[in-house]
Amino acid sequence: MIPRSCLLELPKTDLHVHLDGSLRLSSLIELAAARGVALPSHTEDGLNELVFKESYANLSEYLQGFAYTCAVLRDEESLERAAYELAWDNLEEGVCYVEVRFAPQLHMGWGLSYQQVLRAVDAGLARARREHEASEAVSEQDHPPFRYGIIVCALRMFTPAFSAWYQTLIQVMGEAPRESVYATASLELARAAVRVRDEGVPIVGFDLAGEEAGYPAETHIEAFQHAHEHFLAKTVHAGEAYGPESIFQAVTDLHADRLGHGYHLFAAELIRAGVEDREAYVSALAQYVADRRITIEVCITSNLQTNPGIGSVERHAFRDMLDAQLSATLCTDNRLVSHTTVTREYELAVQAFDMSPSQLRNTIVYGFKRSFFWGSYPDKRAYVRKVIDRYDAVAKKHGLER
């Protein structure tokens, strides 16, 4: 068995972590008090009992906590603080590369622009990066420097309660069909993401998040085409709460380079209609994903919480992904809402699936190689080489043989 001490020390990534789902609980309480945001409890124990639970009935209950976290992340100071603390929470467990994602529209309720929201998050991450690079860990112990990117999330749907920004959009568009409103919102965000990226903010990817059932990816084709034409990488939440068709739409209609969750990739029984041989469809889809090295951002704890029917870690589809030798890497999704860390996700997988040292190395290295790295390709290669050298040194120290 690979010990926790080794997993903690190994360099790791988190390619799928939501800023608004990963606040420190103490910071949420403090920010809420300072900004007059009502919480169901003002103690950590109380919030963990009422909101941020160990288990949830379904995805709807899981998402309830975001109403509180988004409510306190609507000014530049709070956004910068949350990003800064998230960076250090990762660094303290050996995570040296992160791609932080969030939906900027949900943080524009107090008059902030896209640029202000994105620059505030960048400022927090950059401050942590500078501090880490000045530390002994980098200068004397040869740890890899901290690197990061920002992924902006378009949303499959909004409700009026989400933000004042949405209310304004509804007023502008009047009686337009809701699908048109969602499409317009996504396209506006894609344009803003490209524009702010070109101003120097490390926006590395475009995402589609939100409820899958009833809100198909095809509504957002124009937005993803804009991202595609402007060389912005794409990742899509797909196969989390819907079947293989959602993944098919992500990799075809939206040009997805990576898949968020991808849990139901092999779930032939969830294919809705129009497919005669469901097993053949799933096999072909998995082959398509594998051939193109479309990396799956696996979130074990989050999937267990939003899909209670899974039952146990041992029944998670990551086992099928390992067996199929897919490019898959482990992520947290939401550190606060899921009460997890990257190290804990690897602990769960190592124990449940008896991962070999080779499987562990591949899974971690995929995270670095398939990252949407901010910088040139030679820069990325040099960084990944440094990480792999560090990984192999730590593995040798702990007696891990590939």
Phi, psi (5° rounding) for residue 99? -125, 105
Q: How far apart are the first and last CA of the chain?
A: 13
Cβ–Cβ under 8 Å, residues 239 and 246 = yes
CA distance 117 to 143: 31
Residue 258 is inside which H or E element, if any? strand 258-261
- Is 269 labeled as catalytic in the residue annotation? no
Distance (Å, whole) CA 205 – CA 194? 10
Nearest CA to 329 out of 16, 94, 2 is that of: 16
The closest alpha carbon to 360, from 402, 324, 299, belongs to 402
Do 107 and 117 contact (CB within 8 A), yes or no?
yes
* Active-site hit among 9, 240, 345, 347: 240
Q: What are phi and psi of 49, to 5 degrees?
A: -75, -40
Tell me which residue of 340, 275, 352 sits closest to 305, measured CA to CA. 340
Active centre residues (catalytic): 240
